[in-house]
Amino acid sequence: MAPDTHTLTIPSSTRYLEDVRQFVAKKAQLAGFSERDVEQLKIAVDEACTNVIKHAYNGEGEHAIDIAVILSSDKLTVRIRDRGRAFNPETYAEPNLIEFAKSRKSGGLGVHIMNRLMDRVEYKTKGGVNECCLVKYLPESD
């Protein structure tokens, strides 16, 4: 089966996160994911876009984020592309919750959530474009 691709482009502002969640949720529901899986996809894409807005684009709202939901026979992939500062997953350390509270930090938990909720999270940068792919496999049909 050829992959079925749906795209959405948003400005790099947190005010559009809700639109992204709804867009991905709708496609995931149509693809046959459970309510729980749909919820997990919504959070993962929200965290990925929030990181792009806050870190890749440093909070500047005039850039674009391209989101694509790619459906194939066995999985759904959410591909998020930006042209900001690249994220290096190798420099990321798992947060320790207690240390985290003591240091009064309020960010950095998103990557952890994405890793826990998705089957695969992949990053690459090519020609100034950063790409993050969130992959969730469809439940096996009986």
Rounded to the nearest angstrom, the gap between the alpha carbon of residue 139 and the centroid of all alpha carbons in its chain is 20
* Residues 6+ positions from 92 with CB-CB distance below 8 Å: 111
Q: Binder to other proteins among 8, 43, 68, 138 (CB under 8 A)?
A: 43
Q: List binders of other proteins among 2-41 (CB under 8 A).
A: 13-15, 17-18, 21, 35-36, 39
Helix (H, G, I), strand (E, B) or coil at 35: helix
Is 47 an interacting residue with respect to other proteins (CB under 8 A)? yes
8 Å CB contact between 66 and 39: no
Per-residue H/E/C for 79-132: EEEECCCCCCHHHCCCCCHHHHHHCCCCCCCHHHHHHHHCCEEEEEEECCEEEE
Q: List binders of other proteins among 67-126 (CB under 8 A).
A: 97-98, 100-102, 104-107, 109-110, 112-113, 116-117
Q: Shortest distance, CB of residue 45 to other proteins, whole angstroms?
A: 10
Is 58 an interacting residue with respect to other proteins (CB under 8 A)? no
Residues lying near other proteins in the complex (CB under 8 A): 13-15, 17-18, 21, 35-36, 39, 42-43, 46-47, 50, 53-54, 97-98, 100-102, 104-107, 109-110, 112-113, 116-117
